[in-house]
C-alpha cells in the first residue's frame, strides 16, 4: 500500500479521540463547514468549491459515472485502476494514451487530437504508477478552453510534486481537482478525499454529500492546523526517495525517479514481489499496466529503505551474471 | 579474409599475418548465418525444418537471412574494434565478402547445410574463445546455438526465422547492430530465454512453447525483444475477447476483403461469424463468409486483384508487441505496402495490450516499417482503445 510510514502527530490523534467519544453522533454540519473552510485556505480556493468525500476514489467514481455516459472518456495508460474501471462501466467510449518508457512523457499532440466532440478527460498528475508529472497547469488551461470538455485532474500526490491546477477552478467551470489526505497527512486509515470543483462540477455534484465519520473529521481538522509537521515529512520522504534512487542507479539497476512518494524499479529478478514478501518487504507489482518486471516501491523510514536496498541487492546478485 | 588452419582459404589482407584475435584490443566476433531460416514465412509454412524447406522452395520461397544479415552488417559501427570469424559460403562468408568486411573462415560447409553445421561451428567458436557470437535465424537456430554453447559465450540473435519468440533476439537487425556496439562499450550481460516451439503442434495450429535454456546477451533491454507471452485465459479474458470481437463484427463493412491474422482474439471473431479459423495462420473473409483459409503471400496478392477494398485485422503479440515481422509472416512488405497503414486494424485483449510499452514492426523492409510507424490505436474492448507508438 502507498502510505506514509509515520503515525499521525499527537495533536491529530488527540483530536480524533474527541470524535471517538462522540461516536454515537453523526458529524455535525458546522464542523463540516469548518473543515471545508480550512481545506479552502489550505488549497487557496474558496470553501464553496470544496466537495468532501470518503476517499478521493469515491468522488472520482461519482464524477466519472456522472459525466462519462454520453462522452468519450480519455485517460492515461497506466493510470489509477479504480478510475479506469469506473469509466469502463459507464463511458460511451474510452481511449487511453500510453505513457511510454523511458520518461513516461505524455504526447500532448495526440491528446489534443483525441479531444473531439463531448469528452471527459481524467488524468492523475503526478501519474500513478509512473509518478511522472505529465501535464503543467498552463497546458491544462489551454485544454480547458476546448468546447464541451470536462476535465478531472487527480492530484493525490500534489504535496510531493508541488504542481497544482487548483487556482484554475475559479476560472474554469469544466475543471475539478481531486486530492486526498491519506498520504501526506499520515491519515490513510481515516479515508478522506476532497474535490476542488469548478461551477459545472459543483452543480452536477450538488447531491453528492458524504457525512464523514466523526473521527475522520476531527482528525483532519487537527491535521490542517499542523501542516508544518506534514510538510517536514514530505521533505524527508523526498530526500529519502532521491537518495534511494541514487543508490539503485549507482548499482546499475534500472530505476526511475518520480514526483511522488515512491520510486519504480524494473526488476529482472524472477518473482521479485514474492521473494521480497518472504523477506517481510511489501512492494506493489504494477506489471498489470507496465512491461514485465516493474514494481512500485513506497518510500519508508530511512532504516526501512536501507533494509529494502540490501535485500533487493542480495536477490539481484544471486541472479545476475556479470561481464 | 584470413585463413584458418586446415581450412585452405586464401588470405585477403596479406599484411594481416597473425590471428587478429591475438590483439588484446580486437574482439573476436563469431557470425553464424542459418541460410534457410525464415523462408517458410511468406508461403504460409510454419517453419523450414526438415521437409518444409524443400516444400518452401517448391512454393517459390525466397531466402530471407541474406537481407537480414546485410541489414545487420550495414548498421555496424566501430568495425575497427573487432574481427569476424565465420563459416564459408552462405553461412557467413558470402555476405561478409560482399560487404567488404574482414573475416576469417573457420569451417567449410557442404552444399546442403543443416543444424549440425550450426552446432559444429558454434563448437569451434567456443574452442577458439570468441568474445561474442552473432547468429542469424529463428528459434530453431537459437536452440542449436544453445546446444553447443550454453552460457559460455554471450550471443546476439538477429531475427530471421518464421518462429522468433525467444527473448534472446534483438528487436531487429538494426537493433542487433546497436547491441554489438553496446557490447564493445562494455555492457553487462544478462540471461535470456531460448524457447522450444513444438513443431508438430505449431503446424497443427497450436503454439506450444517450453523453456529450452538460457543464453547470455548484452544488457540492452530496449533493443531486445521480450519473450512472447501466452494469451490470457479464464473467464474475464474470454469475455474481453468476445467484447472485442463484438465490436469488430459491428464495425466490419460490406464488400471489404478482411484478412484476419493469427491468435485467439481473431478466433473469437470468426466464432462469432460462425466460420473456422486457422489459429496460427491468416484467413480471408468477405461479407461474413470465409473466402479462403490459411492464405500465403501469393494468395493474398491474388485476392487483392479482385478486392479493391481490403483491410487487415491483427493482434499484437503478447509480451513483445510485434504486429508484423513475427508470427504471421504472410503479411510480407509487399502485402503491407499494397494494403496501406489506414487499412490495418489492431485489436487485442486488454490485459495483454495494457502491459505493452509500445508496438513493433520488423518486416525486413525499412521503408515499409517506417510507413507503419507512429501512434496507433488498438481496440481492447467494446469502443475502448489504447493508443501507443509503433516503433521500427
Residues of chain A found within 8 Å of residue B388, distances taken between Cβ atoms: 77, 98, 100
pLDDT tens digits, B303-336: 999 999 999 999 999 888 999 988 778 999 999 9
**Partner-chain residue, chosen from A100, A254, A288, that has the shortest CB–CB distance to B389:** A100
Q: Domain check: are B180 and B277 in the same one?
A: no
* Cell numbers representing residue A221 in the block: 481538522
Amino acid B22: pLDDT = 53
d(CA B297, CA B292): 13
Pick the range with the lowest mean pLDDT from A96-110, A280-294, B107-121, B127-141. B107-121
Q: Does B387 touch chain A (CB under 8 A)?
A: yes
Structural domains in chain B (count): 2
As a whole number, mean pLDDT of residues B265-278 equals 95
Q: For residues B141 and B161, is the Cβ–Cβ distance under 8 A?
A: yes
For residue B59, pLDDT beyond 90: no
Q: Domain check: are B200 and B253 in the same one?
A: no
**Partner-chain residue, chosen from B190, B351, B388, that has the shortest CB–CB distance to A100:** B388
For residue A238, pLDDT beyond 90: yes
Q: Name the DSSP letter for residue B330.
A: T
Q: Domain check: are B218 and B242 in the same one?
A: no
Q: Domain check: are B207 and B147 in the same one?
A: yes
Is the residue at B13 inside a domain?
no
As a whole number, mean pLDDT of residues A214-230 equals 96
For residue A72, pLDDT beyond 70: yes
Pick the range with the lowest mean pLDDT from A44-48, A165-169, B231-235. B231-235
Domain boundary residue among B196, B223, B250? B223
Domain boundary residue among B174, B190, B223? B223
For residue B230, pLDDT beyond 70: no
pLDDT tens digits, A159-182: 999 999 999 999 999 999 999 999
As a whole number, mean pLDDT of residues B219-224 equals 89
Separation in Å, CA A98 to CA A113, A155, B306, B348: 14, 19, 38, 15
Q: Which residue of A has its CA nearest to B387?
A: A97
List the beta strands (DSSP E) in chain A: 50-53, 72-77, 93-98, 119-124, 149-154, 175-180, 193-197, 255-256, 262-266, 284-285, 294-298
More confident residue, B342 or B24: B342
Amino acid B46: pLDDT = 63
List the beta strands (DSSP E) in B114-255: 132-137, 155-159, 189-197, 209-218
- Mutate which: B155, B384, B386, vs A, most A CBs within 10 A: B384
Amino acid B36: pLDDT = 85
As a whole number, mean pLDDT of residues A7-17 equals 96
Write the DSSP string, B46-94.
Answer: S--STHHHHHHHHTT----HHHHHHHHHHT---GGGEEEEEESGGGBHH
As a whole number, mean pLDDT of residues B56-63 equals 72
Q: Domain check: are B252 and B204 in the same one?
A: no
Q: Domain check: are B119 and B219 in the same one?
A: yes
The CATH number of A10-225 is 3.40.640.10
Question: CATH number of the domain at A228-318, out of 3.30.360.10, 3.90.1150.10, 3.40.190.10, 3.40.50.12780?
Answer: 3.90.1150.10
Q: Domain check: are B72 and B30 in the same one?
A: yes
Is the residue at B123 inside a domain?
yes
Residues of chain B found within 8 Å of residue A81, distances taken between Cβ atoms: none
For residue B8, pLDDT beyond 70: no
Question: For residue A80, which of A102, A61, A104, A105 has the smallest C-alpha distance?
Answer: A61
As a whole number, mean pLDDT of residues B236-255 equals 94
Confidence of residue A99 (pLDDT cuts 50, 70, 90): very high
Is the residue at B7 inside a domain?
no
- Mutate which: B354, B358, B378, vs A, most A CBs within 10 A: B354
Q: Domain check: are B134 and B159 in the same one?
A: yes
The domain spanning residue B90 has which CATH number? 3.40.50.10330
Amino acid B23: pLDDT = 54
Q: Check A323 against B387: CB less than 8 A apart.
A: no
Amino acid B54: pLDDT = 67
The residue range of the domain holding B117 is: 20-223
Q: Does B351 touch chain A (CB under 8 A)?
A: yes
Q: Which residue of A has its CA nearest to B184?
A: A323
For residue B95, pLDDT beyond 70: yes
Q: For residues B83 and B29, is the Cβ–Cβ distance under 8 A?
A: yes
pLDDT tens digits, B10-50: 333 333 334 554 555 799 999 999 998 877 666 666 666 66
Amino acid B91: pLDDT = 94
Amino acid B214: pLDDT = 92
For residue B282, pLDDT beyond 80: yes
Q: Domain check: are B169 and B283 in the same one?
A: no
CA distance B165 to chain A (A): 16
- Backbone CA torsion sign across A35, A37, A41, A44: positive
ipTM over 0.85: yes
Question: For residue B347, which of B377, B372, B379, B374 has the smallest C-alpha distance?
Answer: B379
d(CA A285, CA B388): 22
For residue A85, pLDDT beyond 70: yes
- Percentage of chain B modeled with pLDDT above 90: 65
- Backbone CA torsion sign across A11, A17, A18, A23: positive
Domain boundary residue among B165, B198, B223? B223
Q: Does A250 touch chain B (CB under 8 A)?
A: no
The domain spanning residue B365 has which CATH number? 3.40.50
Amino acid B170: pLDDT = 96
Report domain extents, chain A: 10-225, 228-318
Is the residue at B301 inside a domain?
yes
- How much of chain B is helix, strand and coil, in % rounded to 5? 35, 25, 40
As a whole number, mean pLDDT of residues A155-159 equals 97
Checking DSSP bridges between strand B310-314 and strand B344-347, what pairing results, if any?
parallel
Q: Domain check: are B50 and B88 in the same one?
A: yes
Amino acid B48: pLDDT = 63
Is the residue at B361 inside a domain?
yes
pLDDT tens digits, A114-128: 999 999 999 999 999
Amino acid B162: pLDDT = 78
Amino acid at each position: 500500500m502507498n502510505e506514509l510510514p509515520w503515525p499521525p502527530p499527537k495533536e491529530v490523534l488527540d483530536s480524533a479521540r474527541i470524535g471517538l467519544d462522540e461516536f454515537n453522533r453523526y458529524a455535525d454540519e458546522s464542523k463540516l463547514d469548518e473543515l471545508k473552510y480550512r481545506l479552502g485556505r489550505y488549497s487557496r480556493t474558496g470553501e464553496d468549491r470544496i466537495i468532501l468525500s470518503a476517499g478521493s476514489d469515491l468522488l472520482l467514481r461519482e464524477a466519472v459515472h456522472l459525466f462519462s455516459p454520453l462522452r468519450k472518456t480519455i485517460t492515461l495508460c497506466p493510470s489509477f485502476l479504480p478510475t479506469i474501471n469506473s469509466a469502463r462501466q459507464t463511458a460511451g467510449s474510452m481511449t487511453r494514451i500510453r505513457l511510454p518508457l523511458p520518461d513516461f512523457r505524455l504526447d500532448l499532440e495526440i491528446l489534443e487530437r483525441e479531444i473531439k466532440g463531448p469528452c471527459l478527460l481524467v488524468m492523475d498528475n503526478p501519474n500513478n504508477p509512473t509518478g511522472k508529472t505529465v501535464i503543467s497547469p498552463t497546458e491544462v488551461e489551454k485544454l480547458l478552453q476546448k468546447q464541451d470538455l470536462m476535465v478531472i485532474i487527480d492530484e493525490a500526490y500534489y504535496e510531493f510534486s508541488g504542481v497544482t491546477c487548483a487556482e484554475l477552478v475559479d476560472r474554469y467551470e469544466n475543471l475539478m481537482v481531486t486530492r486526498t489526505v491519506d498520504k501526506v497527512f499520515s491519515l490513510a486509515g481515516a479515508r478522506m478525499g476532497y474535490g476542488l470543483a469548478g461551477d459545472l462540477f459543483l452543480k452536477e455534484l450538488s447531491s453528492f454529500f458524504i457525512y464523514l465519520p466523526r473521527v475522520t473529521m476531527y482528525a483532519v481538522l487537527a491535521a490542517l492546523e499542523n501542516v508544518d509537521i506534514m510538510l517536514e515529512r514530505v521533505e524527508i520522504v523526498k530526500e529519502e526517495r532521491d537518495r534511494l534512487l541514487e543508490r539503485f542507479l549507482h548499482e546499475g539497476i534500472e530505476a526511475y525517479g518520480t514526483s511522488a512518494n515512491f520510486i519504480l524499479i524494473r526488476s529482472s529478478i524472477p518473482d521479485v514481489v514474492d521473494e521480497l514478501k518472504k523477506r517481510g518487504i511489501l512492494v506493489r507489482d504494477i506489471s498489470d499496466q507496465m512491461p514485465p518486471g516493474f514494481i512500485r516501491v513506497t518510500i519508508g523510514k530511512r532504516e526501512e529503505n536501507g533494509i529494502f536496498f540490501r535485500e533487493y541487492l542480495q536477490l539481484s546478485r544471486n541472479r545476475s551474471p556479470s561481464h | 579474409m584470413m585463413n584458418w588452419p586446415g581450412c585452405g582459404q586464401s588470405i585477403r589482407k596479406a599484411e594481416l599475418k597473425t590471428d587478429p584475435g591475438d590483439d588484446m584490443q580486437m574482439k573476436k566476433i563469431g557470425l553464424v548465418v542459418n541460410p534457410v531460416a525464415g523462408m517458410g514465412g511468406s508461403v504460409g509454412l510454419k517453419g523450414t525444418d526438415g521437409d518444409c524447406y524443400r516444400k518452401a522452395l517448391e512454393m517459390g520461397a525466397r531466402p530471407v537471412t541474406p537481407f537480414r544479415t546485410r541489414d545487420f552488417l550495414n548498421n555496424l559501427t566501430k568495425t575497427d574494434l573487432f574481427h569476424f570469424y565465420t563459416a564459408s559460403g552462405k553461412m557467413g562468408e558470402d555476405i561478409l565478402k560482399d560487404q567488404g568486411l574482414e573475416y576469417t573462415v573457420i569451417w567449410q560447409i557442404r552444399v546442403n547445410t543443416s543444424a549440425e553445421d550450426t552446432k559444429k561451428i558454434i563448437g569451434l567458436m567456443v574452442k577458439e574463445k570468441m568474445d561474442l557470437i552473432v547468429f542469424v535465424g529463428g528459434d530453431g537456430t537459437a536452440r542449436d546455438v544453445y546446444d553447443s554453447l550454453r552460457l559460455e559465450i554471450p550471443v546476439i540473435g538477429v531475427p530471421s526465422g518464421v518462429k522468433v519468440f525467444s527473448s534472446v533476439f534483438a528487436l531487429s537487425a538494426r537493433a542487433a547492430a546497436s547491441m554489438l556496439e553496446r557490447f564493445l562499450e562494455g555492457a553487462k550481460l544478462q540471461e535470456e530465454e531460448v524457447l522450444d516451439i513444438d513443431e508438430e503442434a505449431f503446424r497443427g495450429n497450436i503454439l506450444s512453447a517450453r523453456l529450452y535454456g538460457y543464453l547470455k546477451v548484452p544488457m540492452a533491454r530496449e533493443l531486445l525483444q521480450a519473450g512472447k507471452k501466452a494469451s490470457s485465459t479464464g473467464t474475464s479474458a474470454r469475455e474481453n475477447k468476445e467484447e472485442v470481437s463484438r465490436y469488430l463484427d459491428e464495425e466490419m463493412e460490406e464488400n471489404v476483403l478482411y484478412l484476419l491474422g493469427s491468435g485467439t482474439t481473431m478466433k473469437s471473431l470468426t466464432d462469432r461469424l460462425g466460420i473456422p479459423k486457422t489459429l496460427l495462420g491468416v484467413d480471408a473473409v468477405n461479407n461474413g463468409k470465409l473466402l479462403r483459409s490459411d492464405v500465403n503471400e501469393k494468395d493474398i496478392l491474388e485476392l487483392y486483384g479482385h478486392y479493391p477494398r481490403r483491410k487487415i485485422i491483427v493482434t499484437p503479440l503478447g509480451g513483445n508487441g510485434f504486429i508484423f515481422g513475427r508470427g504471421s509472416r504472410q503479411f510480407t512488405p509487399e502485402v503491407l505496402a499494397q494494403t496501406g497503414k489506414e487499412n490495418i486494424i489492431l485489436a487485442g485483449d486488454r490485459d495483454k495490450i495494457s502491459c505493452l510499452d509500445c508496438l513493433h514492426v520488423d518486416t525486413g523492409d525499412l521503408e515499409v516499417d517506417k510507413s507503419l510507424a507512429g501512434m496507433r490505436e488498438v481496440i481492447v474492448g467494446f469502443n475502448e482503445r489504447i493508443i501507443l507508438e509503433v516503433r521500427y
